Structures are given as C-alpha cells and as structure tokens.
Structure 1
C-alpha cells in the first residue's frame, strides 16, 4: 500500500497556493497499519480556534519549517507519533481557509499502529479511520454567503466539513481512484470562517 500511495502522489500535479497574505499551516494524513487507516482527531473543546471540530493532526508552520517538517512536528505534539523525513510520501493541493491560513496536506506513512498518546490540551478524541470509510460521495450544499459549494463528507453518522472534508475528499480521489480532482474551490461552512 505504501508504494501505491507514493506512486499516486508522484503522478499528481500538486497545486500550491501563492497567498502571502495568509499564515502557513500543515496537516498530516498519517497512514497506519493495520488497515490501512488514517488518524483523525476531534479538537479539544478548550482550544481558542475551531474547538470540537474534526481535524487532521496539524497546525501553523514555524519560521523556516517545510510543510513536511511541520506536519511531523504536529503529529509528535498532538499524538506522540514521531516520524522521520522518510515517512513523507507526498503532498496534496494547498487549501486556503476563511480563518486566515493556507493548509498544506502532507501524506505520511506511519506504519504499524503504535502506542499513540493524544495530548489532552489539543485532542479530545482520536480515531483510526479505515480508508474505505472515506470512499464515499460527499454532499454539496449551497449557502447564501458564498457562490461556492460547501462540501460535507459523511463519516461516523455525521458530516466532516472543509477544510478537513475537502482534504480527505481529494485524498480519496487522487490516491484511491487516481483522479486529479481539485478541492481548493470548495467552501467551508460559515461556523468555520472564524
């Protein structure tokens, strides 16, 4: 599976977002065995931004830090998962958020599901999500505040919204189906704009 994912990402013509007006952030799509599955968190309710929302491990890039370095550092801080640079398989398109960030999704191979230690200051829940659970069609809504469609990815009997829902949808399209689907145009729900 690792080589299949790496090959799909190599074939994908990634689009960076040139937005110097926004802060840089990175998220990790950390693939684990058995499964394969990926790690998804629910943000702690005490966090200032996006409390309680579904999220891939990640956060703001430190000065001079590459997206891969930032994603790996955030994995270590949030879940106690330490990975080397050789775990990086590739990146998906950048996604500009309404809350002032450009997010770079980094796909990482974490291997065997080890002893993860969620940091309670940042993570209230940790889920190991089998890839087949995101191999579904998303729902698209219209809202009066935007001309762009709002993406909703069904998961756990609920919906995961952009940016996480958009990133996971692109991962599904690019890695599981080999389709160069773009998601940067997909809208976030209004509650995520802050």
Structure 2
C-alpha cells in the first residue's frame, strides 16, 4: 500500500532518480518520437496512490478501443516531457507544469514505428480530470498495489517472434505492450530494480 500524499511523492521521485535510464540513441532514429504519461493520483477508495489508464475512443483511426496510457506523438521541436504534458491536457484536461515531473523511464520502440518515452508525473488534482470524448472513452485509476502483485503480469510466446509477449491483467481484460511493458517497468522502478523492457514483445495486432 502506498498512501497518497507528499511522502509517497518523495519516495517515487527518489525511486525514479535512482533508476539508471538507458541513454538516448546517439544516431538519428527512423522511429517517430512519442511520449506517454504515468500520471499519479488518488485511488478510487483514497487509500492508495494510483496511475491513470484510459480506454481509447472507438472511433479513433488507430488502436481504437484499446487500453492506453495518456500520450501521443511529439510535435516538431517538442521534447517528450512537453509532449506528455500537452497530451495529458488534451486527453484528460489536466494542465500541469514541468515541476510535477518525477522522472523518465526507458524509451520503448514499437512495432508500429514509434519510440515512446514514458514520463512519470504527480497529477494530484484528480478532481480536475475531464476526459476528452474525441479521444477517450473512459479513464480508470489503477492502484499501485495492483501492479505489485506477483500475478499482475504474465509472459507468453508467439510463433511470429522469438521475444516474449508481456500482458497485464486488469479486471477481466488483458493489456499488452507497449502499455503493459511500460507499466511493468514502472513497477520494477518502484521496487528499486533496473529492469529493461525494450525486448518485451507486442501482440501481432499491435504491429500496425
């Protein structure tokens, strides 16, 4: 249990600072830059800290109806942090500044041609959340205690790849990489482990 409050914020910031993030590639990448947000707020019952997970609107052109962290493609000249905060505002109506950023996780390359930077932020004012129906069908608070359970994640093989597919069990749903991989690494960071996830595979339906 990680009670929501200043002490938890400090502890998570310290865990992120201690995380040995992989350096950015020195050579230009053909992958398009993107950012997602692990936005921390109160859990539904107020007894734990949670992160925000969305279900994408059913009418979107790409990945419609899928579970996702708030985020999207970086605009020209935009840093991943700036993109993450902009997307958080556009999707959930949370207007936050860089002082709430607690840290960054490893960049994750996707099969669909993106390099995603996960940004951890302290989004304390959860009462201000106003999902944008053009992008978000629903928003959910996932208590950190949930992802710390041993059975929260599993790994499976697929014939199309030598890499293992990671899955996050949420209620009656299976959430796959990249979202599952990023949540898993965040779980590991909270536990003080420098666990890498770039080799964790996505399911074939997410390759496009």
How many residue pairs get aligned? The number is 193
Listed one character per residue, the Cα deviations across residues 21-59 of structure 1 (whole Å, up to 9, x for unaligned) are 100000000001343111100011111111111000000
Deviation, structure 1 residue 156: 1.3
| Number of the residue aligned with 2:99 | 86
| Number of the residue aligned with 1:25 | 34
**Which stretches of structure 1, 4 residues or more, deviate above 3 A after TM superposition?**
none
| Number of the residue aligned with 2:205 | 191
Q: 1:83, 1:164 → 2: CA distance? A: 22
Deviation, structure 1 residue 148: 0.2
| Number of the residue aligned with 2:3 | none
| Number of the residue aligned with 1:2 | 9
Q: 2:23, 2:108 → 1: CA distance? A: 8
Structure 1 gap ranges (5+)? none
Going from structure 1 to structure 2, the CA distance change for 1:157 and 1:17 (only over 3 Å counts) comes to farther
Q: 1:154, 1:91 → 2: CA distance? A: 24
Q: Is the 8 A contact 1:134 1:155 kept in 2?
A: no
Q: 1:16, 1:56 → 2: CA distance? A: 22
| TM-score of the superposed pair, with normalisation by structure 2 | 0.90
Match runs of 1:134-149 below 5 Å: 134-137=147-150, 138-149=153-164
Match runs of 1:8-157 below 5 Å: 8-18=15-25, 20-33=29-42, 34=46, 35-137=48-150, 138-157=153-172
| TM-score of the superposed pair, with normalisation by structure 1 | 0.96
Q: Is the 8 A contact 1:91 1:107 kept in 2?
A: yes
Deviation, structure 1 residue 157: 2.2
Q: Is the 8 A contact 1:136 1:154 kept in 2?
A: no
